[in-house]
Amino acid sequence: MTESGDNAVEIRLAERPHGEPTMANFEIADVDAGRPGPGQALVRNTWLSVDPYMRGRMSSAKSYAAPYEVGEPMTGGAVGEVVASNADGLAVGDTVLHQLGWRTHAIVDTDNAAKIDVTSAPAQAYLGVLGMPGLTAYAGLFDVARFAEGDAVFVSGAAGAVGSMVGQLAKLRGASRVIGSAGSAEKVRWLTEELGFDAAFNYKDGPVADQLKAAAPDGVDVYFDNVGGEHLEAAIGSMNLGGRIAICGMISQYNATEPQPGPRNLVQFIAKRITMRGFLVGDHLDARPRFVDEVAPLVGDGSIVYSETVVDGIRSAPQAFLDLLAGSNTGKMLVRV
Ligand SMILES: NC(=O)c1ccc[n+]([C@@H]2O[C@H](COP(=O)([O-])OP(=O)(O)OC[C@H]3O[C@@H](n4cnc5c(N)ncnc54)[C@H](OP(=O)(O)O)[C@@H]3O)[C@@H](O)[C@H]2O)c1
């Protein structure tokens, strides 16, 4: 063991949000970094992931992931460098991916920290394009929505970490048309001019159904839903015969305090033989080797473009999370510790 007793910072859940989260929901605490016990390593985190699913874990409602506890540090994806180790297989200087984010230092063991290769991609890429969001896009598009060459694809939240991958993967595998929606003119420009989307629109500019019909005059075969609500109803209205919908997220409803009305046009499922399936990336970890084999070279040679929105400093992490929900990120939202 070479280092211990560092001054460390962790972000705790101070209180559960009602509706939109605020800074009052978080507590920034100065703590001791601690010492790794037998079989453990101390990691100095370098990058933290902030993700929409964390909004769900701030609530006490039962879901697929346990709620964060009030007064306790929050968790999430992180990468960092091993600075002290009593763990076989984790050496000082190794870069690891683990789930003890929202803090500057983490004590991990070999079961919950994976060494990553930072010679082929920067460490933070394992939180985004080559990490959980990338795999979510890959598994959702190919395994859940069963994308086939020639399909027309619509993705909402298209300028985010998941959505930007969905559109590019569909293009690279031979989509006939890729349409994205996002929340600003600059994001729309990025999608069409830099990512190769055939069409994109700002959902704040007018009814989604009208804008989608104009952008996809021949309809949509696959809808990858990151948003829910009005977007889902619009997509159903534009689906072609045999259309498939992958429900990845419904961010438009994460802050809702009352149950939200469903799409009013579900009757269209019958004649159009639409299928709709929800999924969790955690159920598709078997796809990871396929995903890495196919996508890592495409990222390496620039065929897949990715963007990161970087916020500096652990103390900025709560604001980064609020900004993510408000749409200030293009691509993956990250905190550089
Ligand atoms: N099922 C799974 O296993 C899984 C795994 C990862 C992520 N997800 C889901 O996938 C979605 C995207 O996640 P991500 O990590 O890639 O996040 P992200 O898209 O990078 O960031 C969230 C984005 O959501 C948009 N947004 C916020 N409120 C909105 C609203 N009311 N209507 C429309 N758009 C809104 C914002 O962009 P705009 O400027 O465009 O509004 C914001 O940038 C989320 O719904 C997330 O929960 C699911």
Sign of CA dihedral 265, 271, 272, 275: positive
The pLDDT of residue 1 is: 35
185 & 272 share domain: yes
96 & 180 share domain: no
The pLDDT of residue 6 is: 56
330 & 231 share domain: no
54 & 26 share domain: yes
Cα radius of gyration (the chain) = 21
Could you tell me if the CB of 50 is within 6 A of ligand 1? no
Q: Which atom of ligand 1 is nearest to the CA of 248?
A: 1
Q: What are phi and psi of 43, to 5 degrees?
A: -115, 130
179 & 312 share domain: no
233 lies in a domain? yes
190 & 205 share domain: yes
The residue whose CA is least distant from atom 46 of ligand 1 is 249
CB of 76 closer than 8 Å to CB of 12: no
pLDDT in tens, 110-135: 999 999 999 989 999 999 999 999 99
123 & 196 share domain: no
329 & 194 share domain: no
Q: Candidates 124, 162, 179: which one to mutate for ligand 1, based on the most atoms within 8 Å of Cβ?
A: 162
105 & 156 share domain: no
Strand, coil or helix: what is 271?
helix
170 & 258 share domain: yes
- Neighbour-count burial for 150-162, b at 16+ CB within 10 Å, e otherwise: ebbbbbbbbbbbb
Our CA angle for 78, 111, 41, nearest 5°, is 65
Give the DSSP letter string of 6-32: -EEEEEEE-S--SSS--GGGEEEEEEE
Please report how many Cα atoms fall inside a 13 Å half-sphere around the Cα of residue 271, on the Cβ side: 8
The residue whose CA is least distant from atom 21 of ligand 1 is 160
What is the total count of domains within the chain? 2
Domain with residue 269: its CATH number is 3.40.50.720
Could you tell me if the CB of 87 is within 6 A of ligand 1? no
pLDDT in tens, 305-325: 999 999 999 999 999 999 999
Neighbours of 194 (CB within 10 A): 11
| pLDDT string in tens for the chain (337-residue length) | 334 455 899 999 999 999 999 999 999 999 999 999 999 999 999 999 999 999 999 999 989 999 999 999 999 999 999 999 999 999 999 999 999 999 999 999 999 999 999 998 999 999 999 999 999 999 999 999 999 999 999 999 999 999 999 999 999 999 999 999 999 999 999 999 999 999 999 999 999 999 999 999 999 999 999 999 999 999 999 999 999 999 999 999 999 999 999 999 999 999 999 999 999 999 999 999 999 999 999 999 999 999 999 999 999 999 999 999 999 999 999 999 9
315 & 255 share domain: no
CA distance 219 to 8: 53
202 & 63 share domain: no
Q: What is the residue range of 225's domain?
A: 132-282
Could you tell me if the CB of 163 is within 6 A of ligand 1? yes
How far is the centre of ligand 1, averaged over its atoms, from the C-alpha of 4 (Å)? 38
DSSP 74: P
Could you tell me if the CB of 159 is within 6 A of ligand 1? yes
pTM of the model: 0.97
Domain with residue 320: its CATH number is 3.90.180.10
